[in-house]
Amino acid sequence: MTPAVSFQNVSRHFGSVRAVDGVNLDIEEGEFFAMLGPSGSGKTTCLRLIAGFEQPTGGHIKIFGETADGVPPYRRNVNTVFQDYALFPHLNVIDNVAYGLMIKGVDRATRTRRAEETLELVRLPGYGARRPGQLSGGQRQRVALARALVNEPKVLLLDEPLGALDLKLRENMQEELKSLQQTLGITFVFVTHDQGEALSMADRVAVFNEGRIIQVGEPEDIYRRPRARFVADFVGSSNVLPPDLAQAFGGPRRWASLRPEDIRIGKTGGHAATVTGASFLGAATRVACDVNGARVNVLLPSGSAVPSLGAPIRISFDAAALHPMDDAA
């Protein structure tokens, strides 16, 4: 099957800055794909390259098998939802949603009908006469989504569209976006720095750092089997153990990942540790421990007994929880 989007050794340089540095990636048709990484990692530049807002310094991008080199944004069958929504404040909701159809020369009756249908799809029926200033943040996000979808793109690009929403609304919109993508069956490419968003919504995740893709895989694979120290630390904040401590814990003498929730605290067995701190996180408590001079975090479920500061404890875990990684960062 031809990929929806294909990066072939793509780079994008701004002077001496390598914003994207030799990226190879295939995004499949109908996939919810997340690009995850910290600010400046290259994920948003990759999104802009797909959209046509940027052109590669080197390499090639193909969209459904056709080269996108030099093709302007309006001739690509993709649409973008921006973080700031970019709605026209002087237009009502219907005209905002139908704007792209107007640019294409679609008659008013047809574009109004399609805009109303798309507003129903994003659960905003009856909001067409309102102005953006009369809507909540979540409603404006839905309007921006409808405006992108009304053009029936084959690929929908989402540039951190939930970043301006509060936590509860963001969680609700995560569920709705995933449900909408499954209903429509089109390719979603979602850019975020929030690993919770990426893991909860995406079929696959690409983890970016310094312009390169460090790892691509399904969310559970990225979380449970990180290949590099950066991935282990960025996605879920794992304990990244140096080779000597990994060996002392029964693994090979290699860098290793050990998730805090996989560690148990007891008084016997396992490995000696000393409690150096504790942080209440709501659903869990993070306990910091010193093990042979290294910090190891343990995540205890809410309601668990929390050892006191300075207490000597024993920590243990199943052998399978210790995951060896490449030495590369």
- Rounded Cα distance, 88 and 204, in Å: 33
- Rounded Cα distance, 277 and 84, in Å: 39
Average pLDDT value for the chain: 92
Comparing C-alpha atoms, which of 89, 85, 175, 189 is closest to residue 139? 85
pLDDT (average), residues 68-78: 91
- Rounded Cα distance, 56 and 8, in Å: 10
Predicted pLDDT of residue 328: 59
pLDDT (average), residues 97-113: 92
Q: Is 124 buried (19+), middle (13-18) or exposed (0-12) by CB count in 10 A?
A: buried
- The phi, psi pair for 304, rounded to 5°, reads -75, 150
pLDDT (average), residues 25-39: 96
Which pLDDT band, with edges at 50, 70 and 90, does 98 fall under? very high
Predicted pLDDT of residue 236: 82
Task: Answer yes or no: are the C-beta atoms of 91 and 99 closer than 8 Å.
Answer: yes
pLDDT tens-digit readout, 139-163: 888 899 899 999 899 999 999 877 7
| Domains along the chain with CATH numbers | 5-230 (3.40.50.300), 241-324 (2.40.50.140)
pLDDT (average), residues 108-126: 92
pLDDT tens-digit readout, 210-232: 999 999 999 999 999 999 999 99
Q: Of the spans 79-93, 162-176, 236-250, which averages the highest pLDDT?
A: 236-250
Instruction: Report helix, strand or coil for 314.
Output: strand
Examine the pLDDT at 329 and tell me if it is beyond 60.
no
Q: Is 119 buried (19+), middle (13-18) or exposed (0-12) by CB count in 10 A?
A: buried
Q: If you search the block for the tokens 């929730």, which residue do you land on? A: 261
Predicted pLDDT of residue 164: 63
Predicted pLDDT of residue 186: 94
Predicted pLDDT of residue 327: 66
Examine the pLDDT at 91 and tell me if it is beyond 80.
yes
State what percent of residues in the chain have pLDDT above 70: 98
Which pLDDT band, with edges at 50, 70 and 90, does 13 fall under? very high
Task: Answer yes or no: are the C-beta atoms of 174 and 190 closer than 8 Å.
Answer: no
Examine the pLDDT at 165 and tell me if it is beyond 80.
no
What one-character DSSP code corresponds to residue 119? H
Examine the pLDDT at 235 and tell me if it is beyond 70.
yes
